[in-house]
């Protein structure tokens, strides 16, 4: 396996350079590398082998290596599948050399971070990944706001990088080494662990999109050019891996408040994310906010894991971590599929506004099927993977009564309620999203559908994986359980999978779910109903015009529009959503003489956190511009001042 890992890493290393000659070739090489990663990851997770690529002291910060243990194996496999699908999509419809190269680097750095056994190596990969994300997010030049969105994403990533650096510095200060293996066994005080938890949560929150640092996701997804958003989605697994590796496995067990805080943040993130998703009109921003929602759901399971670890209840920790891992897996794959599918829709129609689309299902059946499978998963419809993982999360939260602290028990109950609410809103959101893109009739006359190459293989393969992820849940749990065994101290899959293909939370006799059987039973019922309906029909179906209360109105004009569909939700949640509605009278000289009904949704985070920070940053940069006089002598003066200050710092730090 070490050889396979070596080949995979080598392939991934080569891929970006081949992009100079051909983007299709680079993507193909990248696909191969990702495929190999899946093999390596699965082998590691299942405990077959633990491949290591040793670098020795080559980097100068102590011994370092690329090491794939069980936990890394899980994330490597997830990255591999979504990365391979995205790269395959790039083969089928090349997005250009620059972006292909960036995508290859992104996969390389993501896997590098996951495989690193040395914090310095991790940091190196992480920072390269940050640069890569910035370059992808700011590669698009079609709209002026893309630039700001790119900067915004990069800025948040930098903030995360700074928090990570601080956390690593603190850990280094205590252990005087960068070896993750040593860090995992270091003895730290409770307060240090608390500080580390806060720093690490900030660091990874910027990547996976946790309130209030979620802004980079919708902005980045929106700003990225072709397939860029799908690449960004691939990189999510690095963020989740960081949480698992550093927060759970390295600095845990944490003080109780850390788990409580995770639950609160998770619940808020989930509800806010989906509430904002419902109100979005932009195809990709919707998916960005949906990613935020799912980050919140993952944090709910993760919070239970942290609390279980604190309480030294390893079953509880296992229940939480398993649920969270399942959800990361389901979400990552489904989100990548959705982004590839939506990318195809965009390429076909040249349209990003939900409002102008409609009825695409008949034109692009494969795209509709792919986004449909992804939507069903993301909306947690049984028996698909998203439902299985949300069910496990819910069950984990229901174990709250096993917590020692009253507050934690209470928070678990509240978080379970928030999860149920989120799932309900999620259904509404995806009904809107899918329905308004693919069903009904088009609400606006689109420029003629362009015939672009369909990423059929990537969507097809990933679609099948996503569709049957729930069915394969017992085997998936087996892999996850054995992969997490090293961290948890036992393999929870033995107590999860009881009867043949029947699942329960880690605690026996609590409740059961059999997604595999459901996969057989639900379609069987549907087929039966169809057959019965067919056999009783005595007249052939006849199509009649759509009934519009007796008028022959233009159907496109009298349909519900997506924003109108979600308006009741906006009105109900008007406080947290910052909803405003007003009618602006038309001014003289406007091309459209009608008044405009304007409804805006400004998130509390945007209004009270981001807007002031952005304003301040713009003010500072305006002030800094004044320093740049252009005179060489002045710049020399700056350098002199900087040198003196630097020298002055040395005695202070000593």
Partner 1 sequence: MSLAEPRHEIAGYLPEHLGAVRQPGPAGELRLQVTALGFARSSQMLHRAGARFVTLLLAQAPEPAIQGAFAMRGDLVVLSAPVNAGETPTYTALGPWWPAAQWSEQELADRHGVHPVGLVAIPNLVHPDADACDQSIAGLDVFSLPYGPVRSGVFEAIQFLIETGGEDVTRVATRPFFKHRGLERRVVGMTPTEAVHVTERIAGISGVAYALAFCHAVERALGIEVPARAERWRAVHAELERMANHLDVIAKQAETAALSVGQARFQILKERVQRLRATLTGSRFGRGALTPGGVRSEPTVSREELLAEIDSLERELRSDRRRFLRTASMTDRLIGTGRLPRSLAEDYASVGPVARGSGVSTDARHERPYGEYRRLGLEVVTHRTEDAMSRVLVRFGELTESLRILRQAIGHLNRNGAGLSAPIPFDAGGYAFGWAEAAQGEVVIRVELCDGLISRLHVASPSLRNWALFDQAFPQDVLTDFAFIEHSFGLSPAGADR
Partner 2 sequence: MLGWIARGLAQRRVTTRYPQAPERPIDAFHGPLLVLEASGADRELEWLCPTGAITVDSRRRVTLDRGRCIQCGECVRAAPHRFAFAQRYETAARHRQALSVGAGDDSQPRADRAVLAARARPLRRSIHVRHIDTGSDGAEEWEIQALWNPYYDIQRLGFFLTAAPRHADILLATGVVTPPMRAPLERTWEVMPEPKALVAVGTDACSGGLSAQDGSSYSGIDAVLPVDVYVPGSPPAPIAILEGLLLAVGLLGDST
The reply on whether position 551 binds partner 2 by CB under 8 A is yes
Q: Which is nearer to partner 1, 169 or 441 (CB)?
A: 441
Q: Which is nearer to partner 1, 545 or 651 (CB)?
A: 545
Choosing among partner 2, partner 1, none, which partner's interface includes residue 567 (Cβ < 5 to 8 Å by kind)?
A: partner 1
Choosing among partner 2, partner 1, none, which partner's interface includes residue 594 (Cβ < 5 to 8 Å by kind)?
A: partner 1
Pairing of strands 52-56, 596-601: unpaired
CA 375 from centre of chain:
14
The reply on whether position 441 binds partner 1 by CB under 8 A is no
The reply on whether position 599 binds partner 1 by CB under 8 A is yes
Question: Of 15-23, 381-389, 594-602, 611-619, which segment contacts partner 1 by CB under 8 A?
Answer: 594-602
Task: At 600, give phi and psi (nearest 5°).
Answer: -120, 150
Which of residues 447, 547, 625, 652 is near partner 2 by CB under 8 A? 547
DSSP string, 501-523: T-B--SSTTS--B-HHHHHHHHH
CB 84 within 8 A of CB 107: no
Question: Of 67-75, 490-498, 549-557, 572-580, which segment contacts partner 2 by CB under 8 A?
Answer: 549-557
Q: Which is nearer to partner 1, 79 or 566 (CB)?
A: 566
x-or-dash pattern for partner 1, window 334-373, by CB under 8 A?
Answer: ---------------------x------------------
Q: Which is nearer to partner 2, 560 or 638 (CB)?
A: 560
**Residue 591 CB-half CA count within 13 A:** 0
Question: What minimum distance in Å lies between the beta carbon of 562 and partner 1?
Answer: 9
Burial of 303 (0-12, 13-18, 19+ CB in 10 A): buried
User: What tokens does 596 get?
Assistant: 């405009």
**Residue 639 CB-half CA count within 13 A:** 6
Q: Which is nearer to partner 2, 539 or 627 (CB)?
A: 539
CB 136 within 8 A of CB 228: yes
> Binding residues for partner 2, how many (CB under 8 A)?
8
Choosing among partner 1, partner 2, none, which partner's interface includes residue 58 (Cβ < 5 to 8 Å by kind)?
A: none
The reply on whether position 281 binds partner 1 by CB under 8 A is yes
Contacts of residue 359, defined as CB under 8 A and 6 or more positions apart, other chains included, come to: 438, 439, 440, 441, 442
Choosing among partner 1, partner 2, none, which partner's interface includes residue 539 (Cβ < 5 to 8 Å by kind)?
A: partner 2
> CA–CA distance from 19 to each of 51, 86, 136, 541 (Å)?
28, 15, 15, 54
Whose CA is closest to 207, among 285, 291, 278, 266? 291
Which of residues 61, 120, 468, 565 is near partner 1 by CB under 8 A? 565
Which of residues 20, 441, 464, 597 is near partner 1 by CB under 8 A? 597
**Residues 532-561, interacting with partner 1 (CB under 8 A):** 548-554, 557-561
The reply on whether position 537 binds partner 2 by CB under 8 A is no
The reply on whether position 544 binds partner 2 by CB under 8 A is yes
Ramachandran sector of residue 41 (left: φ over 0; alpha: ψ -120 to 50; beta: rest):
alpha
The reply on whether position 552 binds partner 2 by CB under 8 A is yes
Q: Which is nearer to partner 1, 310 or 563 (CB)?
A: 563
The reply on whether position 542 binds partner 2 by CB under 8 A is yes
Q: Which is nearer to partner 1, 158 or 599 (CB)?
A: 599
**Residues 197-256, interacting with partner 1 (CB under 8 A):** none
Q: Could you give the maximum distance between any two Cα atoms of the chain, in Å?
A: 95
Q: What is residue 68's DSSP assignment?
A: -
The reply on whether position 571 binds partner 1 by CB under 8 A is yes
Burial of 376 (0-12, 13-18, 19+ CB in 10 A): buried
In this structure, the dihedral spanned by the alpha carbons of residues 321, 322, 325 and 326, taken in order and rounded to 10 degrees, is -150
> CA–CA distance from 308 to each of 296, 301, 398, 400, 403 (Å)?
18, 11, 13, 9, 7
Choosing among partner 1, partner 2, none, which partner's interface includes residue 30 (Cβ < 5 to 8 Å by kind)?
A: none
Helix/strand/coil percent split, the chain, to 5: 70, 5, 25
Choosing among partner 2, partner 1, none, which partner's interface includes residue 571 (Cβ < 5 to 8 Å by kind)?
A: partner 1
Question: What minimum distance in Å lies between the beta carbon of 533 and partner 2?
Answer: 16
> Binding residues for partner 1, how many (CB under 8 A)?
30
Which spans of this chain sit near partner 2 (rule: CB under 8 A)? Answer: 539, 542, 544-545, 547, 550-552
Which spans of this chain sit near partner 1 (rule: CB under 8 A)? Answer: 281, 355, 548-554, 557-561, 563-568, 571, 581, 583, 592, 594-599
């Amino acid at each position: 396996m070490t050889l396979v890992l070596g080949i995979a890493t080598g392939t991934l290393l080569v891929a970006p350079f081949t992009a100079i000659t051909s983007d299709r070739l680079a993507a193909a090489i990248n696909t191969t590398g990702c495929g190999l990663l899946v093999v390596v990851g699965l082998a590691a997770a299942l405990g077959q082998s633990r491949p290591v690529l040793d670098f020795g002291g080559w980097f100068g910060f102590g011994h370092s290596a690329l090491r794939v243990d069980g936990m890394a194996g899980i994330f490597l496999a997830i990255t591999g599948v979504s990365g391979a699908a995205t790269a395959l999509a790039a083969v089928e419809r090349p997005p250009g050399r620059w972006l292909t190269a960036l995508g290859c680097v992104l996969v390389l750095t993501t896997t590098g971070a996951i495989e690193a056994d040395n914090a310095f190596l991790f940091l190196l990969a992480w920072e390269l990944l940050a640069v890569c994300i910035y370059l992808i997010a700011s590669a698009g030049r079609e709209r002026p706001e893309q630039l700001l969105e790119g900067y915004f994403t990069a800025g948040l990533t930098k903030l995360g990088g700074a928090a990570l650096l601080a956390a690593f510095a603190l850990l280094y200060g205590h252990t005087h080494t960068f070896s993750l293996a040593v860090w995992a066994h270091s003895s730290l005080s409770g307060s240090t662990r608390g500080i580390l938890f806060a720093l690490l949560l900030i660091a990874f929150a910027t990547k996976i999109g946790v309130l209030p640092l979620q802004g980079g996701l919708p902005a980045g997804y929106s700003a990225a050019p072709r397939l860029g958003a799908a690449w960004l989605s691939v990189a999510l697994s690095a963020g989740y891996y960081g949480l698992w590796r550093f927060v759970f496995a390295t600095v845990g067990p944490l003080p109780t408040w850390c788990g409580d805080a995770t639950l609160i943040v998770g619940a808020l993130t989930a509800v806010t994310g989906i509430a904002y998703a419902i109100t979005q009109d932009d195809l990709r921003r919707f998916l960005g906010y949906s990613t935020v929602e799912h980050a919140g759901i993952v944090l709910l399971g993760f919070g239970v894991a942290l609390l279980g670890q604190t309480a030294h209840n390893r079953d509880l920790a296992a229940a939480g971590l398993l649920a969270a891992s399942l959800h990361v897996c389901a979400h990552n794959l489904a989100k990548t599929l959705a982004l590839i599918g939506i990318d195809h829709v965009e390429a076909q129609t040249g349209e990003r506004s939900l409002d102008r689309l409609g009825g695409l299902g008949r034109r692009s059946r494969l795209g509709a099927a792919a986004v449909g499978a992804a939507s069903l998963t993301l909306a947690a419809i049984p028996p698909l993977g998203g439902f299985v993982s949300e069910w496990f999360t819910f069950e984990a939260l229901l174990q709250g009564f096993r917590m020692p602290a009253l507050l934690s028990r209470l928070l678990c109950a509240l978080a379970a309620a928030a999860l149920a609410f989120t799932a309900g809103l999620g259904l509404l959101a995806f009904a809107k999203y899918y329905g308004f893109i693919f069903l009904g009739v088009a609400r606006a006359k689109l420029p003629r559908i362009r015939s672009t190459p369909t990423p059929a293989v990537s969507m097809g393969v990933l679609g099948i994986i996503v569709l049957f992820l729930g069915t394969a849940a017992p085997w998936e749990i087996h892999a996850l359980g054995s992969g997490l065994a090293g961290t948890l101290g036992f393999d929870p899959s033995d107590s999860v999978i009881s009867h043949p293909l029947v699942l329960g939370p880690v605690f026996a006799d609590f409740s059961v779910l059999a997604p595999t059987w459901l996969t057989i039973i639900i379609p069987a019922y549907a087929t039966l109903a169809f057959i019965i309906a067919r056999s009783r029909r005595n007249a052939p179906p006849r199509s009649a015009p759509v009934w519009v209360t007796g008028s022959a109105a233009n159907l496109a004009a009298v349909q519900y529009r997506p924003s109108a569909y979600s308006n009741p939700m906006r009105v109900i949640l008007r406080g947290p959503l910052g909803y405003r509605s007003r009618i602006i009278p038309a001014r003289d000289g406007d091309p459209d003489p009608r008044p405009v009904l304007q409804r805006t949704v400004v998130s509390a985070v945007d209004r009270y956190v981001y807007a002031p920070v952005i304003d301040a940053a713009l003010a500072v940069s305006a002030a800094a511009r004044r320093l740049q006089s252009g005179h060489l002598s002045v710049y020399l003066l700056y350098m002199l001042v900087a040198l003196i200050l630097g020298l002055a710092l040395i005695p202070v730090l000593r």
